[in-house]
Structure 1
Amino acid sequence: MPFWFSAITLSTTLAACSSNSEQQDPVAAARFENERRIGEADVTSKQERDAEFLVNAAASGQLLTEASRLALQKATLPAVRNFAARLLKEHAAIGQGLQVVAQQKSITVPSGLGHEQQDQYQKLTAAGGSAFDKQYVELLLDLHNKQEDAFDDMREEAYDGDIRGFAAKYYPVLSDHLSQLKQLEDQTENLP
Structure 2
Amino acid sequence: MRITRKATGTLLVGGALGLTLAALAYPALLGVGTAAAAQDRIVAETSAGPLTEADRDFVVKVRAAGLWEYPVGQMALRKGTTDAVHTAGRHLIAGHAALDADCRRIAARLNITLPNRPSPQQRGFVATLTSDTGRQFDSDMANILRVTHGQIFGTIAKIRATTENTLVRQLADQANNTVLDHITVMEKTGLVDFDQVLFQETTPPKLPSEDLTPPPPAAGEPQVTLAP
TM-score by length of 1: 0.72
Name the structure where helix makes up a greater proportion of residues.
1
Given the alignment, which residue of 105, 108, 113 partners 1:103? 108
In structure 1, what is the Cα distance between the partners aligned to 2:42 and 2:53? 11
Aligned pair in 2 of structure 1 residues 30, 105: CA closer, same or farther (>3 Å)?
A: farther
In structure 2, what is the Cα distance between the partners aligned to 1:187 and 1:122? 20
User: CA offsets, 1:12-60, max 9 Å, x none?
Assistant: xxxxxxxxxxxxxxx9876533259x9xx97289711111111111111
Once the two structures are TM-superposed, the CA of residue 97 in structure 1 deviates from its matched residue by 0.7
**1:61-100 aligned within 5 A:** 61-100=66-105
Identical positions, percent? 22
The answer to whether the Cα contact below 8 Å between 2:99 and 2:174 also exists between their aligned partners in 1 is no
The answer to whether the Cα contact below 8 Å between 2:42 and 2:53 also exists between their aligned partners in 1 is no
The answer to whether the Cα contact below 8 Å between 2:63 and 2:100 also exists between their aligned partners in 1 is yes
Are 1:49 and 2:46 matched, yes or no? no
In structure 1, what is the Cα distance between the partners aligned to 2:26 and 2:157? 26
DSSP-derived class of the 1:43 partner: strand
User: CA offsets, 1:142-186, max 9 Å, x none?
Assistant: 2211333322222221242210122123412321321232222x2
Aligned pair in 2 of structure 1 residues 31, 81: CA closer, same or farther (>3 Å)?
A: farther
In structure 2, what is the Cα distance between the partners aligned to 1:159 and 1:99? 19
In structure 1, what is the Cα distance between the partners aligned to 2:124 and 2:175? 27
The answer to whether the Cα contact below 8 Å between 2:87 and 2:185 also exists between their aligned partners in 1 is no
The answer to whether the Cα contact below 8 Å between 1:34 and 1:51 also exists between their aligned partners in 2 is yes
What residue is the counterpart of 2:187 in the other structure?
182
Gaps of 5+ in 2: 1-23, 45-49, 194-228
Aligned pair in 2 of structure 1 residues 42, 140: CA closer, same or farther (>3 Å)?
A: closer
Are 1:114 and 2:119 matched, yes or no? yes
Aligned pair in 2 of structure 1 residues 30, 95: CA closer, same or farther (>3 Å)?
A: farther
The answer to whether the Cα contact below 8 Å between 1:31 and 1:108 also exists between their aligned partners in 2 is no
Gaps of 5+ in 1: 1-26
Are 1:32 and 2:37 matched, yes or no? no
Paired amino acid for 2:43: V
What RMSD, in angstroms, separates the aligned Cα atoms of the two structures?
Answer: 2.8
Q: Higher RCO, 1 or 2 (CA under 8 Å, sep at least 6)?
A: 2
Name the structure where strand makes up a greater proportion of residues.
2
Aligned pair in 2 of structure 1 residues 29, 46: CA closer, same or farther (>3 Å)?
A: closer
In structure 2, what is the Cα distance between the partners aligned to 1:100 and 1:46? 15
Are 1:136 and 2:133 matched, yes or no? no
What residue is the counterpart of 1:4 in the other structure?
none
Aligned pair in 2 of structure 1 residues 43, 65: CA closer, same or farther (>3 Å)?
A: same
The answer to whether the Cα contact below 8 Å between 2:26 and 2:57 also exists between their aligned partners in 1 is no
Aligned pair in 2 of structure 1 residues 153, 115: CA closer, same or farther (>3 Å)?
A: same
In structure 1, what is the Cα distance between the partners aligned to 2:32 and 2:179? 28
In structure 1, what is the Cα distance between the partners aligned to 2:69 and 2:54? 22
Count of matched residue positions in the alignment of Structure 1 and Structure 2: 159
The answer to whether the Cα contact below 8 Å between 1:60 and 1:143 also exists between their aligned partners in 2 is no
TM-score by length of 2: 0.61
In structure 1, what is the Cα distance between the partners aligned to 2:111 and 2:65? 20
What residue is the counterpart of 1:173 in the other structure?
178
Aligned pair in 2 of structure 1 residues 42, 72: CA closer, same or farther (>3 Å)?
A: closer
